[in-house]
Chains A and B, each alone.
Chain A
Amino acid sequence: MHVKKIRVVEDALDANNTIARANRADFDRAGVTVVNFMSSPGAGKTTLLERALERLDDEIRLGVLEGDVQGSLDADRLAHHHAPVVQINTDAGFGGECHLDANMVRSALPSLPLEEIDLLIVENVGNLVCPAEFRIGENARVMASAVTEGEDKPLKYPLMFRACDFVLVNKIDLLPHLDFDMDAFLSNLDAVHPGVPCALVSARTGEGLDAWFDWLRDVAERGREAA
């Protein structure tokens, strides 16, 4: 039997990237700008989302795609807002994956009323490693890191901190009770992702949240211009 060598030189995630591009084309056609929102579990993504839904409700038509391994707790929390909220569970036919991938987002497209949405925020599965590897067809990526997680996280999970366009440092209302060293955190963040914009916020008290709302307005505006 003759052995033949085939030169491939193809991204190992080519299949995912191809579907991500198809998602992006569909979103573009519908005039929807997409934000991929990532963090570890418990960093405050859902509360930050609730604040955004409250504040931006009369300015931007928001939509939310909730990714979780199981259940609809987050979608239920957001259900009383005006914005359409759709839940994806990664355990239902997707093997309980620890991240959303392009195909999972694609499968949710028919449930999303895209014509009613200008800015779709996709709340990824809480995880600091895996979501950073998978494009879903987003225009921008944001992550939340809570001060309760410690100042060393950028150095431990550099791929995530390098993959995002904006960092929310959340739960700063807890700083008086913690040994968290903010200067060290910011210097670690700058070491792995020089120049990435970040905002110090508390979703609980509302402190600093204007920077979060402004960033979302900005992303929506740039998406509109590009369309």
Chain B
Amino acid sequence: MHEMAIAGSILDSVLRHADGRRVTHVQLKVGHLRQVVPASLEFSWELITKDTVADGAPLVIESVEAVGACRACGEETPQAGFPFRCGACESFDLEIVRGNELLIDWLEVEDPVEA
């Protein structure tokens, strides 16, 4: 159960970017190759944001599938499981180009300054 630690780390970044403004939405990207349980992360987020400016802001998790780029033929193939294999030439020599993400993509804040 490391989701609480991850939620705490996300909150640190979010509070820094929000700079005192109320946060209304946090968008996260989580790759399939990370061992993060979305329900557990959402629950941790709910607990850890209590009494902060991010209290009540949904943490929306966008799941990113694993994609491998073949070092032999250059083809990019989505990877559903192990071993990683190129869909075009069957090579096992792939570089993972997506699926390792654990990124805060964007957030939304209430801005007191009128646009």
A3–B92 CB distance below 8 A:
no
B82 lies within 8 A of A15 (CB): no
Contact B82 A12 (CB under 8 A): no
The stretch of A63-71, A76-84, A92-100, A212-220 in contact with B is A92-100
Q: How far is the CB of B60 from chain A (nearest CB, A)?
A: 13
| Any A CB within 8 A of the CB of B102 | yes
Interface residues of B in 60-115 (CB under 8 A from A): 82-83, 92-93, 102-115
Cα(A1)–Cα(B109), bound, Å: 10
Number of A residues whose C-beta is below 8 Å from B? Answer: 36
Are A129 and B2 in contact, CB atoms less than 8 angstroms apart? Answer: yes
- Which of A33-41, A48-56, A140-148, A190-198 makes up part of the contact surface? A190-198
Question: Complex Cα distance A27/B12, Å?
Answer: 26
Q: Which residue of A lies closest to B12 (CB)?
A: A15
Task: Tell me how far the C-beta of A41 lies from the nearest C-beta in chain B, rounded to whole angstroms.
Answer: 15
The residue in A6, A13, A97, A129 that gathers the most chain B C-beta atoms within 10 A of its C-beta is A6
Instruction: Kindly list chain A residues whose C-beta atoms are within 8 Å of the C-beta of B17.
Output: 6, 8
A132 at the binding interface (Cβ < 8 Å): yes
Q: Which of A6, A11, A13, A157 contacts B106 (CB 8 A)?
A: A6
Beta-carbon contacts under 8 Å, B23-37 to A? 24, 28, 33-35
Q: How far is the CB of A1 from chain B (nearest CB, A)?
A: 5
Chain B residues, CB < 8 A from A7? 105-106
**What's the least CB distance linking A93 to chain B, in Å?**
14
B10 at the interface (CB under 8 A from A): yes
Smallest Cβ-Cβ distance to A159: which chain B residue: B35
Q: List 9 A-B contacts (CB under 8 A).
A: A1-B110, A1-B112, A5-B108, A8-B17, A12-B102, A13-B9, A97-B2, A101-B5, A194-B83
Binding site for B on A (CB under 8 A): 1-16, 95, 97-99, 101, 129-130, 132-134, 155, 157-159, 162, 188, 190-192, 194
